[in-house]
A and B are shown apart, each in its own frame.
Chain A
Amino acid sequence: MSRADIIFLLPHLMLTLGAVLVMMAIAVRRNHFAVYVLTCLTLIVALYFLPKTASLPHNVGVLFVVDGLGVFNTMIIMLAALAVALMSYAYFDTREERTGEYYMLFILATFGACIMVISGHFVSFFLGLEILSVSLYGMIAYLRKRERSDEAGIKYLILAAFSSAFLLFGMALIYAATGDMTFEGLSGYFSAFDELPILVMTGVGLVVVGAGFKLSVVPFHMWTPDVYEGAPAPVAAFISTISKGATMVLLVRFFLAIDGFRFPVVLTIFTVISIASMVVGNILALRQQNVKRILAYSSIAHFGYLLVAFIAADELGVEAVNFYLVAYFATMLGAFGVVTVLSHPERDAELLDDYRGLLWSRPALATVFVVTLLSLAGIPLTAGFVAKFYLLASGISTNQWLLVILLVVNSIVGLFYYIRIVAVMFDSAEEREARPAGYVGNFATLLILVVLLVWFGVSPQGLIDVIRNLVGVG
């Protein structure tokens, strides 16, 4: 490993260093605030060491490809992690649990996600995914005295391990057929075929199954609502954004490398998954009374939408995926942020009734929630709209009219449940018990997220330029 390699991996090294420091800090003295500050500092330092654009791309051995796509997504993952960290402090501070180890798992999970987005090899793919997953088991089940947290943990554990096994076996099959594990090598191998041999096909299929669980797309979505409901709100935010986003980026990289959409089978599989996710996610969300479950189903539907751009797999498509991820991250973090702020120490604010009259009792918070919901629904002036527009554009430019029309129809279905939450917040306020005092970190995060949502909605060109510079294929 050369000096240059180390420089390019510095952000990731910083994260591992941070995890170790947090662990040692806990050993010396348990102090929630100190650990929290240390976590935030780790993330900030890691962000600072992100490689400069001019020097990209750079291959670190065969394992990692530090290119624009990787750096951009490492950046947004770290920023999202920072937002989750800021929310987590208030959340865990009001709960009596031991708090230190959470941050260690948290940094490791972020590290895993960051590894995933720069991996160019099956080994780094799998290890990144596992570091993320195993840390998440702990984070989901972190509130040990809550039954629901434990149940969510055990469910996630079994399904995630199950999916990893599929993923690994898929990789092994592809390796068996090709004898190569680097994306670059596979790219050469795949380009030789017009039709995939059955062994490779099975392998790709199993990889899709494994990644599908992480993306929680239908039919691999069963765990999602339960885990979102049971996990602590900040952890749910983490799963719905960072974990899913990293997997998505990895899939983009993998399928771009093997040019997977040349093969009709692959195209069909993803089309079906996309349609099923949109439809099932939205339909099931309609009946929910639980805000966390609604967000869970909504995130399933959103990844169905996102697959439309993924399937397009051209320059516009990749741009669209990246833009959508940014918008989706900001939106979901905002939504879960509101849930976090409103949560009682005993129970997360997850029932629709918890939001009744919110617009009159806590107008600022409700405004944040309204903006995020509108962004999820894809209403103009929010980032969600431009993102959805991007998806439609990439879908139409590749003539996937079926997907595009279904996307629109589903957006309309989606409106029903987003508007229902907004409507509940409009109800006349009722007397409610006093809330725990607010934390500056929470409000600052939410404020920044809302500003970003509106900013990207009103003037997206800046972000588009950044994405095109870094990610642009051409």
Chain B
Amino acid sequence: MIPIENYLVLSATLFSIGLMIVVIKRNAIAVLLGLELMLNAANINLVAFNLAHPERLDGQMFAVFVIIVAACEAAVGLAIILQAYRVFHTAVPDSISTLKES
């Protein structure tokens, strides 16, 4: 059996990669991808550590909910990005700046 710590390392790595993507990538679509990666890193933890409590299913249940939530976020997020693209003709949030310190 794989030691439980390995799951932690894997999820932490995935989370960090997702974080890096969000921070480094400028395109909003890529940022959304990074966010999904972060959420799913958490899911790995939730599912993996449910093993320690096989009589309860709370971790796995949560993971299912998270998948749903991630889908919702992606759907609404893409809609907004699309809308912004129509208005600004770009999907790079950094290059949109109508709001600033006055």
Contacts and interface: CB of A to CB of B under 8 A. Distances in A.
A contacts B: CB pair < 8 Å: yes
Interface of A: 122-123, 126-127, 130, 133-134, 137-138, 141, 144-145, 147-148, 150-155, 157-158, 161-162, 164-166, 168-169, 171-173, 175-176, 179, 181, 199, 225-226, 229-230, 287-290, 293
Contact of A229 (B52, B53, B99): B99
Contacts of B93: 151, 154-155, 158
B6 interface: no
Contacts of A172: 11, 42-43, 45-46, 49
A162 B20 CA distance: 12
Contact of B42 (A123, A130, A169, A226): A169
Nearest to B99: A226
A137 B58 contact: no
B80 A157 contact: yes
B84 interface: yes
A289 B102 contact: yes
Nearest to B69: A130
A134 B35 CA distance: 14
Centre residue among A148, A168, A173 by max chain B CB count within 10 A? A168
Interface residues of B, number: 45
B96 interface: yes
Given A141-B83, A151-B98, A161 B35 contact: yes
Given A165-B38, A175-B45, 16 more contacts: A123-B58, A126-B62, A126-B65, A126-B66, A126-B69, A134-B73, A147-B88, A154-B80, A165-B18, A168-B66, A171-B42, A172-B11, A172-B43, A172-B45, A175-B46, A175-B59
B72 interface: yes
22 contacts: A126-B62, A126-B69, A147-B87, A147-B88, A150-B80, A151-B93, A151-B99, A152-B99, A153-B83, A157-B77, A158-B22, A158-B28, A161-B32, A164-B73, A169-B38, A169-B45, A171-B42, A175-B49, A179-B49, A179-B53, A230-B98, A293-B101
B89 to A, nearest CB: 11
A162 B35 CA distance: 6
A181 B38 CA distance: 20
Contacts of B41: 169
Interface string B8-41: 1001000100100010000010011001001101
A260 to B, nearest CB: 21
A154 B77 CA distance: 8
Nearest to A352: B102
Contact of A168 (B42, B87, B98): B42
B58 to A, nearest CB: 5
Contacts of A287: 101
B76 interface: yes
B83 A150 contact: yes
Contacts, number: 136
Contacts of B73: 130, 133-134, 161, 164
Contact of A151 (B52, B53, B66, B97): B97
Contacts of A147: 87-88, 96, 98
Interface in B47-102: 48-49, 52-53, 58-59, 61-62, 65-66, 69, 72-73, 76-77, 80-81, 83-84, 87-88, 93, 96-102
Nearest to B72: A134
Nearest to A226: B99
Nearest to A153: B80
A150 B31 contact: no
A174 B100 CA distance: 38
B52 A179 contact: yes
Contacts of A165: 15, 18, 35, 38-39, 42
List of 3 A-B pairs having minimum Cβ-Cβ separation, nearest first: A172-B45, A165-B38, A172-B42
A196 to B, nearest CB: 17
B3 to A, nearest CB: 13
Contacts of B38: 162, 165-166, 168-169
Nearest to A137: B76
B35 A153 contact: no
A133 B58 CA distance: 23
